[in-house]
Structure 1
């Protein structure tokens, strides 16, 4: 692994190593902000860190290649907790209940470091072995000394990762050990019992959204910090399953099927009843609930719901007779095997209702469907009234449009509201006050949010062509990072659009030609675009044409049938969609982008014909059209520093992974998108896209070939000019992967440069991240926007950063609602800025990045992350659309045949579009 040199006497220019910060930025008006961090005071103790491995001990000899099921989730948490009780009673010890434990003293362990843990679950008594590897001595004082002096022996990146992880385990122990809190991932904790933090989602409210809190230990110059943030999680239904059945009102077969999907894979507690006639036991209906379990209940076991009773359940030899899907207790028959329990005859058939009456003296509800708490092959049919869903189970599927809307409404809060939650409810949830564990480990958390210094960078001047005289330039007024296109035209029209058609897609009834309101809006929009300066003629079909897609019909077949009739292939298709649904949109883009090579512009009917805001809507769509045609919509006055000389290419690339998939996502690919500039105005960003193995972040040898394509395209558009600099924005990698980017990806980039460039261009590689947890809040009413956020252009490069690492937070945009999320930029490689701009290197990089945020071509506002990273993410999103079979209806993703998967993955952008901004 490459090392980060921390030797202050080393003055050589770094190449393949993370560069030292040249200086802090100085440009802009200085402001004081709150940050969502608390200062940590940590005693210089020696901690002892263990790595844990948990394995189930098989009850009988198994084949050497047999796979022993792993302990996961709640079971793993509980097994680790029981193991710690055995070895840490007299010694303070904390854990994240998965793979780590941290103690104040070495633990009293057996010689082999292994303890055995008996564990009863799902009706089985098992034994697990927990192996403690270590300990590794963690000297907290080494970290605090380094942060104070910025001198020390640490040479890896991230800095002092083992110490920070250990302190993080200490701080995360309380919420993970608390029964009323659900913990997700490495640092998100959700209180389950606070009414004001929970809201039902959807109609009916099967799922809930919970306001929780994130925490992570972060190093900064001179101090250790705790980064906290408000976080939101969506959780599945919890409580008695009969309550959910009543909510669903299972009146039709369709209701029953939907309910089955709702409860699938839920983890539940099942009451195992005491046998009839056992001394001291009473039927549940006559007893009172005790603190541990109700009378008449022998024990409580945990199981996972396979679904409702299904005629397809069971193997060939032991197949129950299930009358219908969602069968009731008197509609399922099964054979009693020998030896038969008391009251039963071996070989005879009994209904589930009869079984519970004879064996347990329990009359079950005959109106409720049976729940299968076994497996599809070996079903265990349980009356619904004996099943209760365990709280805190995260939703793994994509939320519905209604759920998404309600999530946004619940989570969209002012900066003040979020900051207040952090210092009140958040501290309680995370256990930051009066916590004996923190006291024992010498950790104290300051009670006030951290204040930091920021700077407000001035916005660049945006320029368009004048509407009255296109040869003159017009400077619209920029307010809070936003402007309008009144009295202006685009700077440069793209290629003339002459061969084009427009289509109206209807799902309700056949309508040909399209309705008059749609015809009028389309005619008005084409005229509006001509006034904007877009080179567009008249459509081949003046009145438009309709494609009727009946409900339930295949959208892709209906659209392809229409495309097949075109005798002259259009450059552009302007398509009016009936709604915002994904099926028709996905079909349209997949066919047009990959098979036919048509530029498509999709519009939703109600937005198109609505008079209020129609002019702005026409303008926004027109900006996309001009970019697809190769035009330049606007630029910034004076150009972007470094790039304006015409010898620099800017590149952005990103990898997105399958997420929120309820089905098997192992074989679903990750999407890679890359864009690159081809001219000094930074208006056109042609792209390339490909796939790689799912959930793999680092790119493979394909990167070299794709980067060669980018260089060739730049050289084609800049004949006779040398490519002297390449500035790369790599989106989305975590700090733990920084060195991998340099070790694994950079060599492919250099190899591409060696093949095509006589003189090797200098490279700057910057990681851009939006999915982080740092937020800033204004401290002064004079330095906030109308939404009470910090002002656009605010940059922070001190206070929550390390002086030795070159990074900064930039909030280029204005958040209209909620709390603004800054983009975080970290320089991994710099052969450009320090050598060219010397002492102004930091200021120059901040200015270039900020200025580019005003050059996002389809918007009339500054965007939150610089366009190369933003566009690369959009390319990945379009790539997902091209392979939507993997993602839409992800329950069925695992049923796609291997041949079909290969065909889907082979889809590539059509030759007509590959060097254009088809994706915008």
Structure 2
């Protein structure tokens, strides 16, 4: 950043300019550049004495007026159908608005759009400790085009940052950490290192990367006099290095070993704390040792990994705030952090941000009525209802053979768990209308002890014993009682059950079975999953969705999840499709493709064809293929919308061509993109139209004010957020051959697809509440998550310094499996993943 600042200062000469300090400069008129477009920068800061060449390419014209003409008329004079429009102009506006906060040393930035205050006064109220790290409340901003106007999309954001400040303070705060943890946490932190002059005064301050704590020297080189370090985290009296060369009049004798403490005392007359670890600012092969007093960690360094199971709840609690609190933060702390007021740069470029949040009109769709067996109704309130006194709509296949497995059982609870599983568990399921044998195959359960053997080996032994039971018939269902939430054991259970043994599994945590109170409700929730896995249906809408009730429409959802940056793992695809008009059963397909590739390839044609066959084979469809196909494509960005139509839709049509009679009518197809990861939020203005958590009412739809007239999109808040600020789902219709043909052009088709999407959110089978994203997209995401469980050695990570969610090859589960291996044929056409 400093080098770019220096280069721009040489050529600005009063020209208004902004930059993101990386590869873009926005100016109002051409810059007076040298003939070769190269500016030389003499860089002497941070201990450097170098010269850099900064080369300017371009310029490229950005036509702001063209964007405003488009927003006013919503007509693109070029006739282009691409989306989004005028990306270069929007990008330039984001650079203009981000210049000031990005260039402020008291604000940290992550990516192009997220900014976090790191000045101490703000942090007193806007941060939360996460062990060694800390969460900081910051703000997102991005320019967004809307019909007739340009908007600033701002939202509260939360980032996790690594520790900052003098190393002596950090070591004091981390007194409870062992040296291995402290070494890991210090590694790869950027720090200012103070070098002293002959009389102990500050000579220069250099920015260095911390290797970690001083550790025993393990280099295999031929160094004659290697450093001597007694242990990891050795202090200044325990770290010795060999001094060579002239020493002047310091009293130091060359060609002998000195401790770090001794050297600083003699060389600089500086006494260092003998109780603090010495820091290595060199490399593991060529260490450079500094006392803690000379090192200050630079603030604003984001944590580059996923949070672990202990940290995640803390961040969720910190981020979970009421809509009022978030709205207030945006208009107060947010404006200050983003520097939206009295900003000289914004004024120079003619940008002005209104003081108040935008007020828009929405409408509320009614909560649909829910129906259970024997037409017993449940009327949702704020998107939620209960199952008191009702049975599931349609039971799945009877579970004649089932058993349960104790993982690392607690002797004090084992008998209680056994009693509950033999008596209360089956009673609750039976009362719900789920057929299950009263007695398990192993009344005392099987025991798996992961403390004595590898979890996968122990679980495989248990599954093998189960498979051989009952004259070789094995079990239809295995319930695994976990000692605690353990993702590695969970992954082993699902890998073995889903792909190797072909047995349905459900994991339960022991404390949920021994809590006594509320156990029936817990078992009822588990029962919903069990019934879906066995092919049943839990509930239906009292008034069937109009376009679905005829039994001629198949609904599809698919999603792609990607590995973390820097990982060689594949991207995973999950595809689900309904097989009946009740929208109860959604068999799935899953496969892998090249890492970080969003668009689906040739396998989409094959797997989509299989979904059509499953629909045709369902007895209620009488051998027919669907006349309509509604597809919810999850997770693609606006820049990829056109690729969905150009790359994926043709494969889907080819799959249909192969399955439908030659020369006959092809199905009508509608493609909708569903997105949950966005920054738009809505805050209610009328107490009569809000939930108990003070969010907008369930069923709120917004399709004006923040959308574009030429783009068929809408926001929907189908669910009631129990706490925090509800995040609406954003839906964009890329292609419609179903609703316009059925309901007519204009508002009727728009209303039809909004109502369908809203009512489908009440059809998520494993819950008694509306969900925030429509089930086909939700189910597809769950399928992808399940696929990750089969590859924990590629997708798990516990490193403090690895890339976000980075891959690890030392997963406890260690059950890496080629993703091309299919789910076992016993489960393949079921909702095994739910």
**TM bracket (short chain):** over 0.9
Aligned-residue offset at 1:124 = 4.5
Work out the CA distance in 1 between the residues paired with 2:411 and 2:11.
71
Structure 2 equivalent of residue 79 of structure 1: 3
What is the DSSP-based 3-state SS (H/G/I as helix, E as strand, rest coil) of the residue aligned with 1:269?
strand
1:767/1:826 contact within 8 Å kept = yes
Structure 2 equivalent of residue 473 of structure 1: 375
Aligned-residue offset at 1:163 = 1.2
Work out the CA distance in 2 between the residues paired with 1:767 and 1:235.
33
Aligned residue among 462, 482, 492 for 2:384:
482
Work out the CA distance in 1 between the residues paired with 2:435 and 2:274.
71
Provide closer, same or farther for how the CA distance between residues 208 and 894 of structure 1 changes in structure 2, counting only shifts above 3 A.
Answer: closer
Work out the CA distance in 2 between the residues paired with 1:257 and 1:832.
61
Provide closer, same or farther for how the CA distance between residues 87 and 611 of structure 1 changes in structure 2, counting only shifts above 3 A.
Answer: same
1:313/1:379 contact within 8 Å kept = no
Work out the CA distance in 2 between the residues paired with 1:390 and 1:480.
47
- Select between 443-452 and 368-377 the one with higher mean Cα deviation: 368-377
Q: Does 1:180 align with 2:106?
A: yes
1:369/1:383 contact within 8 Å kept = yes
- Select between 900-909 and 426-435 the one with higher mean Cα deviation: 900-909
What is the DSSP-based 3-state SS (H/G/I as helix, E as strand, rest coil) of the residue aligned with 1:174?
helix
Q: Whose relative contact order is higher, 1 or 2, with alpha carbons under 8 Å and at least 6 apart?
A: 1
Provide closer, same or farther for how the CA distance between residues 895 and 164 of structure 1 changes in structure 2, counting only shifts above 3 A.
Answer: closer
What is the DSSP-based 3-state SS (H/G/I as helix, E as strand, rest coil) of the residue aligned with 2:352?
strand
Q: Does 1:593 align with 2:516?
A: no
Mapping for residues 608-647 of structure 1, pairs under 5 Å = 608-647=513-552
Structure 1 equivalent of residue 709 of structure 2: 803
Aligned residue among 697, 717, 732 for 1:826:
732
Work out the CA distance in 2 between the residues paired with 1:158 and 1:744.
17
Aligned-residue offset at 1:780 = 0.8
What is the DSSP-based 3-state SS (H/G/I as helix, E as strand, rest coil) of the residue aligned with 1:334?
strand
Mapping for residues 485-524 of structure 1, pairs under 5 Å = 485-506=387-408, 508=410, 514-520=414-420, 522-524=422-424
2:612/2:625 contact within 8 Å kept = no
Structure 2 equivalent of residue 60 of structure 1: none
Aligned residue among 216, 219, 224 for 1:314:
219
Aligned residue among 225, 232, 235 for 1:328:
235
Provide closer, same or farther for how the CA distance between residues 726 and 423 of structure 1 changes in structure 2, counting only shifts above 3 A.
Answer: same
Structure 2 equivalent of residue 919 of structure 1: 833
Work out the CA distance in 2 between the residues paired with 1:873 and 1:521.
31
Work out the CA distance in 2 between the residues paired with 1:793 and 1:134.
49
Work out the CA distance in 2 between the residues paired with 1:635 and 1:401.
36
Q: Does 1:746 align with 2:746?
A: no
Structure 2 equivalent of residue 419 of structure 1: 327
Structure 2 equivalent of residue 694 of structure 1: 595
Structure 1 equivalent of residue 447 of structure 2: 547
Provide closer, same or farther for how the CA distance between residues 81 and 751 of structure 1 changes in structure 2, counting only shifts above 3 A.
Answer: farther
Aligned residue among 178, 181, 187 for 1:264:
187
Residues 738-772 of structure 1 show CA distances to partners (whole Å, capped at 9, x for unaligned) of: 12222222222222222222343222111100110
Work out the CA distance in 2 between the residues paired with 1:333 and 1:180.
38
Aligned-residue offset at 1:827 = 1.0
What is the DSSP-based 3-state SS (H/G/I as helix, E as strand, rest coil) of the residue aligned with 1:564?
helix
Work out the CA distance in 2 between the residues paired with 1:461 and 1:124.
70
Work out the CA distance in 2 between the residues paired with 1:198 and 1:507.
42
Work out the CA distance in 2 between the residues paired with 1:170 and 1:219.
16
Q: Does 1:896 align with 2:834?
A: no
What is the DSSP-based 3-state SS (H/G/I as helix, E as strand, rest coil) of the residue aligned with 1:642?
helix
What is the DSSP-based 3-state SS (H/G/I as helix, E as strand, rest coil) of the residue aligned with 1:650?
strand
Mapping for residues 34-433 of structure 1, pairs under 5 Å = 77-119=1-43, 124-154=48-78, 155=80, 156-193=82-119, 194-202=122-130, 205-249=131-175, 255-274=178-197, 276=198, 282-283=199-200, 296-318=201-223, 319-338=226-245, 347-433=255-341
Work out the CA distance in 2 between the residues paired with 1:895 and 1:336.
40
1:723/1:757 contact within 8 Å kept = no
Provide closer, same or farther for how the CA distance between residues 895 and 192 of structure 1 changes in structure 2, counting only shifts above 3 A.
Answer: closer
What is the DSSP-based 3-state SS (H/G/I as helix, E as strand, rest coil) of the residue aligned with 2:156?
strand
Q: Does 1:446 align with 2:374?
A: no
Aligned alpha-carbon RMSD (Å): 2.3
Q: Does 1:763 align with 2:669?
A: yes
What is the DSSP-based 3-state SS (H/G/I as helix, E as strand, rest coil) of the residue aligned with 2:203?
strand
- Select between 711-720 and 732-741 the one with higher mean Cα deviation: 711-720
Provide closer, same or farther for how the CA distance between residues 341 and 691 of structure 1 changes in structure 2, counting only shifts above 3 A.
Answer: farther
Q: Does 1:729 align with 2:632?
A: yes
Mapping for residues 653-668 of structure 1, pairs under 5 Å = 653-659=558-564, 665-668=566-569
Aligned-residue offset at 1:271 = 0.9
Work out the CA distance in 1 between the residues paired with 2:649 and 2:247.
69
User: How many residue pairs were aligned?
Assistant: 808
Residues 49-91 of structure 1 show CA distances to partners (whole Å, capped at 9, x for unaligned) of: xxxxxxxxxxxxxxxxxxxxxxxxxxxx333222222222411
What is the DSSP-based 3-state SS (H/G/I as helix, E as strand, rest coil) of the residue aligned with 2:722?
coil
1:673/1:688 contact within 8 Å kept = yes
What is the DSSP-based 3-state SS (H/G/I as helix, E as strand, rest coil) of the residue aligned with 1:515?
helix
Structure 2 equivalent of residue 864 of structure 1: 772
1:121/1:302 contact within 8 Å kept = no
Gaps of 5+ in 1: 1-76, 277-281, 284-295, 466-471
Residues 249-290 of structure 1 show CA distances to partners (whole Å, capped at 9, x for unaligned) of: 26xxx711111121121111111122x2xxxxx32xxxxxxx
Work out the CA distance in 2 between the residues paired with 1:599 and 1:328.
55
What is the DSSP-based 3-state SS (H/G/I as helix, E as strand, rest coil) of the residue aligned with 1:443?
coil
Aligned residue among 815, 832, 837 for 2:743:
837
Work out the CA distance in 1 between the residues paired with 2:767 and 2:134.
34
Aligned-residue offset at 1:316 = 1.1
What is the DSSP-based 3-state SS (H/G/I as helix, E as strand, rest coil) of the residue aligned with 2:140?
strand
1:502/1:539 contact within 8 Å kept = no
1:114/1:132 contact within 8 Å kept = yes
1:507/1:551 contact within 8 Å kept = no
- Select between 600-609 and 455-464 the one with higher mean Cα deviation: 600-609
1:626/1:632 contact within 8 Å kept = yes
Provide closer, same or farther for how the CA distance between residues 348 and 904 of structure 1 changes in structure 2, counting only shifts above 3 A.
Answer: farther
Aligned-residue offset at 1:631 = 0.4
Q: Does 1:683 align with 2:623?
A: no
1:643/1:680 contact within 8 Å kept = yes
- Select between 77-86 and 833-842 the one with higher mean Cα deviation: 77-86
Structure 2 equivalent of residue 564 of structure 1: 464
Aligned-residue offset at 1:521 = 5.1
Work out the CA distance in 2 between the residues paired with 1:575 and 1:621.
12
* Superposition TM-score, scaled by structure 1 size: 0.84
Aligned-residue offset at 1:120 = 5.0
2:495/2:815 contact within 8 Å kept = no
- Select between 226-235 and 322-331 the one with higher mean Cα deviation: 322-331
Aligned residue among 690, 697, 719 for 1:791:
697
Gaps of 5+ in 2: none
Aligned-residue offset at 1:121 = 7.0
Structure 2 equivalent of residue 292 of structure 1: none
2:578/2:585 contact within 8 Å kept = yes
2:669/2:736 contact within 8 Å kept = yes
Mapping for residues 880-891 of structure 1, pairs under 5 Å = 880-891=788-799
Aligned-residue offset at 1:396 = 1.7
What is the DSSP-based 3-state SS (H/G/I as helix, E as strand, rest coil) of the residue aligned with 1:653?
strand
Aligned-residue offset at 1:612 = 2.6
Provide closer, same or farther for how the CA distance between residues 353 and 883 of structure 1 changes in structure 2, counting only shifts above 3 A.
Answer: same
1:597/1:911 contact within 8 Å kept = yes
* Superposition TM-score, scaled by structure 2 size: 0.93
Aligned-residue offset at 1:196 = 4.3
What is the DSSP-based 3-state SS (H/G/I as helix, E as strand, rest coil) of the residue aligned with 1:486?
coil
